[in-house]
Amino acid sequence: MSNAFRTLILTASVTPLAQQVAASFGSGAVGMWTTPLSSTGAAPATHYVSTGIIPEEFAYMMPTQYWEHDEAGNWTETGSDAGNAAAVWQAASAQGVNCTLAQVQAIFDAADVTPQEPFVAMGRMGLKIINPADA
């Protein structure tokens, strides 16, 4: 199976549970969403980002949005994949993560997942990395 590049940005409120769910898929997902973001680049974090190559079998389960600039230079969503919250919930639950389908769906609803490079996705969302000295 092939791999896929994804940038995954989550709101801070769902990040702790998303970290547990991701870690239940294996050691390669441990440590996701540790880079804090905010609109000013100063604490507190409003979002967290993870980016990189992931196995295609995991990529297909996640919601994904596709964006392009329109004629005026504004970002326009050109398509999306809903992902499969039920499959993620079932897999995480089978590995002992105490969560509900509604909680996994809330993670999906709060997620911005794209094949964009991280600084492009962060720029589109008006987010900046928080410098560790400012956290």
pLDDT digits (tens, 9 = 90+) for 65-116: 999 999 999 999 999 999 999 999 999 999 999 999 999 999 999 999 999 9
DSSP helix/strand/coil, 109: helix
Domain, as residue range, for 27: 3-134
Q: What is the DSSP letter of 128?
A: E
> What total of structural domains would you count in the chain?
1
**In contact, 134 and 42? CB cutoff 8 Å:** yes
| Residues 78, 82, 22, 59, CA torsion sign | negative
pTM confidence score = 0.91
Place of tokens 């639950």: 93
* Tokens (6 digits) for 15: 């990040």
